[in-house]
Amino acid sequence: MRKKKHYICVFRQPIEVSINQNTVMPAWFDVYGLTVDAPQDEAGIMKAAEQITRIIKAEVETGEVTMEHIVLGGFSQGGSVALYAALTDANLRGLAGVVVLSSWLPLAQQLASDSSRIQAERSLPILHCHGAADSLVPYAVGSLTNAFLRNFHFTAAELHKIADLGHTCNEEEMKLAQTFIHKVLTT
């Protein structure tokens, strides 16, 4: 197998987003609210996760990369879709790791009530970075995601609270991601 490094960045098409007065904007799925008990766009979340799985399966089918050499990641909704797909799709078993930035686990309550939907190996490395000053997706939501992962025995899940960081990225977060990716791809 030929070794090569490449990155695939998937961008979303604009859709109406309910929480923003149906403003058309790039989004993976509709958002109705930003509280833990807000309704969620289950069909949209699942459709987005399936799209990610199709892209990864197509890469693996080329024969130029194995699942063990793929790190799935994203920011905000992208990180949420990445995490949901990695946890729930058996086709993604064996991923090298998952990087989620300023994200949350969508449909966590449904997964908690039916844990058979969780297909990932509990040793899956997960890096979750979240800004302490994030007002769009509050740090508390990220912390709940980490608690979920711990409750379901994801032993290699780590949460990093980034001081003074809002709903954006900074150099500290990028260095954490770089170190994590290097670690999971070289071990």
Positions annotated as catalytic residues are: 76, 134, 167
Q: For 26-40, give one letter per residue: b (16+ CB within 10 A) or e.
A: ebbbbbeeeeeeeeb
Tracing tokens 């608690």 back to the chain, one arrives at 147
Residue 47: partners with Cβ closer than 8 Å, 6 or more residues away:
29
Burial of residue 161 (number of CB atoms within 10 Å: 0-12, 13-18, 19+): middle
H or E, element range at 44: helix 42-61
